[in-house]
């Protein structure tokens, strides 16, 4: 089975992975998705999307946009509205009315991200269908919300909620980016785990298959959401242990058994999660020449010798953190990453267990809220002393 892995992840937020799920296309123009009840015919018009949505009972959940509407919303897809580019096509920033969803002027109404399929892209067309299939059906606080779609002849577009903080990749690796503190990193780790746990707990047992830092998007408060579902697949059912697929994904994130055999399971996502968790801990890319072995050495290969020794594990921590993190928390997170990265998928924990471990390490959200509220009150009313504030916080735990 041939290896078809993408290069390192896209540079800009909302850019797609550039690789697509292995749908089968028949000679008569109809499209069938493997392991799914969805069969779509007539792939030349908006009726394709309508048929897909109707088959899932989704016609009322998504807005059907005209191409003219989205052209106006993005100011004719101007370059200064461009957010990113990937294998799917280009992603633009746009504005629509919050109530009517009609196009509005820049700075007025709801900000959206509009993906525009590259003309003639067969792979992009497949991703468009897959995105509508999964994000049109699924709603969760840690999945990017799909607002609507456009399907007019060759014009295929998708409209998402806008994530103002961009991608995790940019915040971790872009030169000059503001330091992401330990508490935020762990909160992002929890949010990503929640998103994957949700997908794996569905009856369809959805496998995300493309977890990487560029596909984790952040809202204004650094809440993390999974984006780009073009590679998603329904997992094995009944007594089946895996789904056999073409090997697609991004080098450095894909599980070794999946790369070697094409056998896909939810544990493939767990491995990818372990890589992202390593990136959060180390501040290093999944693939990169900053590792001792150069550009061909993966982050996993570099980090594993340290992860297996609790006395050495702190050597992998991001130096930019300046030691401002919980040492025990870092050791526990590293131990969890090592379990997720086990070469034998049977020994990797399920995402529900990963989530449970991380939630114990995370600073309680209520405490964070109290701290934030106390800081605001202190700036307004000086009679709130620091000692009293901290005492109140301890009592609230």
- Binding site members: 116
Closest by alpha carbon to 194, among 120, 123, 229, 143?
A: 143
Give the burial string for 46-78 (b: 16+ CB within 10 Å, else e): bebbbebbeebebeeebebbebebbbbbbbebe
Residue 120, token pair as written in the block: 């003639």
Q: How far apart are CA 144 and CA 98, in angstroms?
A: 17
Are the beta carbons of 205 and 241 closer than 8 angstroms? no
Question: Which positions make up the binding site for ATP?
Answer: 116
Instruction: Identify the CA nearest to 12 among candidates 165, 201, 231.
Output: 165
The rounded distance, in Å, linking the Cα atoms of 83 and 188 is 22
Q: What phi and psi, each to the nearest 5 degrees, are found at residue 213?
A: -60, -35
Q: Give alpha helix (H) positions in the chain.
A: 47-55, 67-73, 122-135, 168-173, 182-201, 256-261, 266-282, 299-307, 327-340, 351-361, 365-380, 386-396
The H-assigned helical ranges of 44-181 are 47-55, 67-73, 122-135, 168-173
Of 22, 191, 210, 228, the catalytic one is 210
State residue 28 phi and psi, 5-degree precision: -90, 10
Annotated active-site residue 210? The verdict is: yes
Cα angle 230-233-239, degrees, rounded to a multiple of 5: 175
User: What are the CA-CA distances from residue 351 to residues 46, 329, 366 (Å)?
Assistant: 37, 19, 24
Task: Extract the tokens encoding 83.
Answer: 């957010």
Cβ atoms of residues 237 and 26 within 8 Å: no
Which residues are within 8 A (CB) of 294 and not within 5 positions of it... i.e. 6 or more apart? none
Catalytic residues, by residue number, are 210
């Amino acid at each position: 089975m041939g290896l078809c892995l993408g290069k390192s992840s896209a540079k800009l937020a909302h850019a797609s992975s550039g690789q697509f799920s292995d749908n089968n296309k028949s000679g008569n123009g109809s499209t069938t998705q493997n392991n799914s009840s969805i069969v779509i015919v007539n792939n030349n018009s908006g009726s394709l999307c309508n048929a897909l949505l109707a088959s899932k009972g989704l016609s009322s959940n998504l807005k059907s946009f005209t191409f003219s509407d989205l052209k106006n919303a993005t100011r004719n897809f101007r370059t200064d509205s461009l957010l990113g580019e990937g294998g799917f096509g280009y992603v633009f920033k746009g504005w629509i009315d919050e109530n009517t969803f009609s196009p509005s002027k820049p700075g007025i109404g709801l900000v959206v991200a509009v993906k525009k399929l590259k003309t003639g892209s067969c792979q992009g067309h497949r991703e468009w269908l897959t995105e509508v299939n999964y994000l049109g059906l699924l709603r969760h606080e840690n999945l990017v919300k799909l607002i609507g779609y456009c399907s007019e002849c060759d014009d295929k577009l998708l409209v998402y909620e806008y994530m103002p903080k961009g991608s995790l990749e940019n915040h971790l690796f872009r030169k000059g980016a503001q330091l992401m503190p330990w508490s935020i990193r762990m909160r992002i780790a929890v949010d990503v785990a929640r998103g994957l746990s949700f997908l794996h707990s569905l009856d369809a047992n959805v496998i995300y298959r493309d977890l990487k830092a560029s596909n984790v998007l952040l809202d204004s408060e650094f809440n993390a959401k999974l984006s780009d579902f073009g590679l998603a697949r329904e997992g094995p059912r009944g007594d089946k242990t895996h789904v056999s697929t073409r090997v697609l994904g991004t080098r450095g994130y894909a599980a070794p058994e999946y790369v070697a055999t094409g056998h896909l399971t939810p544990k493939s996502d767990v491995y990818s999660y372990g890589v992202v968790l390593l990136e959060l801990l180390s501040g290093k890319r999944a693939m990169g020449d900053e590792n001792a072995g150069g550009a061909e050495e993966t982050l996993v290969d570099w980090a594993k010798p340290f992860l297996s020794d609790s006395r050495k594990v702190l050597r992998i921590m991001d130096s930019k953190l300046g030691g401002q993190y919980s040492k025990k928390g870092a050791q526990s997170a590293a131990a969890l990453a090592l379990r997720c990265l086990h070469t034998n998928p049977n020994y990797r924990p399920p995402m529900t267990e990963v989530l449970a471990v991380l939630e114990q390490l995370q600073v309680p959200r209520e405490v964070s809220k109290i701290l934030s509220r106390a800081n605001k009150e202190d700036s307004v009313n000086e009679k709130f002393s620091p000692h009293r504030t901290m005492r109140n916080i301890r009592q609230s735990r």
